[in-house]
Amino acid sequence: MTEFTHRRADFPDDFLFGVATSAYQIEGHDFGGAGRTHWDDFAATPGNVVRAEHGGRACDHYHMWEQDLDLIADASFDIYRFSASWARVLPEGRGAVNAEGLDFYDRLVDGMLARGIKPALTLYHWELPSVLADLGGWRNRDLAGWFADYTDILCRRIGDRIWSAAPINEPWCVGWLSHFIGAHAPGLRDIRAAARAMHHIGLAHGRATQVMRGLGMGNLGAVCNFEYALPLTDSDADRASAQLYGGIYNRWFVGGMFKGEYPSDVLEGLAPHMPKGWQDDMATIRQPLDWLGLNYYTCKRIAADPAAAWPHLSEHVGDLPKTQMGWEINPDGLAHFLHFVGEYSENLPLYVTENGMANPDSPDQPDHARIAYLNAHLDAARAAMAKGANLKGYIIWSLLDNYEWALGYEKRFGLVHVDFESLQRRPKASYHAVQQALART
């Protein structure tokens, strides 16, 4: 497919379009006095990251940010969802501030405003300062307070010009993927570590939200990822396992943040491993929010595995067409979640804060598969809106090909191709298709 089948004019007047990136994935952490992060440590350990690649140079957005903001403005995107790196602002996580780091985010935000782009800030998109990782990282309850302090320092500088802010990108990845599955930094496979992280993330979210309210910032939300959990077969056991998998992935964090409660089926497994007194934190975790962001990519097939330890399940990939990540393309899941989250967020505005696909793109080959993926997901989003979902915006992952974590630089998610040798940016067919669709006539 070569064209976008959606036009800005097909959406309500207040509907916004955006594009997303994150700090460690594009900035280049060797530059500008940023501190070491646990992703540098994870990548330096054999077997964790494809070709041991890391974010040292990445897309060198640190030096090329003006060109990158021009690309966003030239495509008529309304919102730029970006993140700040804790280790760039506070190289040791606490204590001495890196003035160059704060100056960088200050320039970046002014650059967005000068181009008419709304800055949508994420405070933490995974690059924990190594010094704090040494102190136990997300296993350590004190991290929530240190995160609140970092939030205060950063937002005192740029908070006055931020359009929206969310504390933590994809709590499930920070907690479960990184401490139970072990696929992301710090690479732990430990249920006690996972339970603690899953709780302290919520606490950090709550504390940071309080800090931002205290500074007078508005339009504060949360960005969670959702994966469509389908039973591998129709058996009761597989259905129950899919339900539990969905509990850990899709219900735990929104339960804490919007209801002040964790789902009871998940607590059956995690309660013995939770930090003492966790119940007393639930009121802090449940802060009034102004919006909820959903990151959505794919579905997963879940089977019961009684021989395995809790949660007694195994994960499988089904037969739908797949992206370069091996992820099935299933837009039904997006429509499902746009209704599902309404149970938690009531009638708050919803944003799709990430959606997109990896494709083995070369600069000369049009990425038709990506255009088709975006079209299909916007079809699903519009169908959900027609049935009452309060969706107010759609943000594509990602502006640039970038560092795709444990999978290195090979998985290309960008609307813009990046040559990682020359750092040349070349807009792909999808960029031009989106640009045409969003142009204000």
By beta-carbon proximity to ligand FCB, the closer residue of 11 and 86 is: 86
Q: Which two tokens stand for residue 327?
A: 């992820």
Output phi, psi for 75, to 5 deg: -90, 5
Calpha distance 415→45 (Å, rounded) = 31
CB of 169 to ligand FCB, least distance (A): 5
Read off the DSSP letter of residue 272. G
Q: Which two tokens stand for residue 51?
A: 């070709």
**Total of residues contacting ligand FCB (CB under 6 A):** 12
By beta-carbon proximity to ligand FCB, the closer residue of 210 and 324 is: 324
By beta-carbon proximity to ligand FCB, the closer residue of 148 and 395 is: 395
Amino acid 275 reads P
Single residue of 19, 22, 151, 400 touching ligand FCB by CB under 6 A: 22
Which 220-259 residues touch ligand FCB, going by CB under 6 A?
A: 225
CB of 374 to ligand FCB, least distance (A): 14
CB of 97 to ligand FCB, least distance (A): 25
- The number of angstroms, rounded, from the C-alpha of 197 to the middle of its chain's C-alpha atoms is 17
By beta-carbon proximity to ligand FCB, the closer residue of 81 and 94 is: 81
Active site residue 343: no
CB of 185 to ligand FCB, least distance (A): 13
From the list 323, 428, 416, the residue with the least C-alpha distance to 377 is 323
CB of 435 to ligand FCB, least distance (A): 22
Q: Inter-axis angle of helices 191-214 and 142-158, to 10 degrees?
A: 30
Which 319-378 residues touch ligand FCB, going by CB under 6 A?
A: 354
Which 407-426 residues touch ligand FCB, going by CB under 6 A?
A: 413
Write each residue from 391 to 410 as x if it is in contact with ligand FCB (CB under 6 A), else as -, in one continuous string.
Answer: ------x------xx-----
Q: Of 73-81, 84-92, 166-174, 421-429, which part binds ligand FCB (CB under 6 A)?
A: 166-174
Q: Which residues pair with 292 in a beta bridge?
A: 222, 350
Per the CB < 8 A criterion, the answer to whether 262 and 252 are in contact is yes
Q: Tell me the CA distances in angstroms from 125 to 40, 119, 187, 334, 397, one per residue in order.
A: 14, 15, 16, 22, 13
CB of 355 to ligand FCB, least distance (A): 10
Active-site annotation holder among 27, 170, 227, 404: 170
232, burial (CB in 10 Å: exposed 0-12, middle 13-18, buried 19+): buried
Write each residue from 59 to 98 as x if it is in contact with ligand FCB (CB under 6 A), else as -, in one continuous string.
Answer: ----------------------------------------
By beta-carbon proximity to ligand FCB, the closer residue of 60 and 170 is: 170
Q: Which two tokens stand for residue 9?
A: 């004019």
Which 261-300 residues touch ligand FCB, going by CB under 6 A?
A: 295
Active-site annotation holder among 27, 227, 328, 354: 354
Q: How many CA atoms lie within 13 A of 404 on its CB side?
A: 23
Q: Inter-axis angle of helices 61-74 and 99-114, to 10 degrees?
A: 10
Write each residue from 167 to 186 as x if it is in contact with ligand FCB (CB under 6 A), else as -, in one continuous string.
Answer: --xx--x-------------
Calpha distance 77→80 (Å, rounded) = 7
Cis ω before 398 (30° cut-off from 0):
yes
Active site residue 354: yes
Cis ω before 275 (30° cut-off from 0):
no
Contacting residues toward ligand FCB, per CB under 6 A: 22, 25, 169-170, 173, 225, 295, 354, 397, 404-405, 413
Residues noted as catalytic? 170, 354
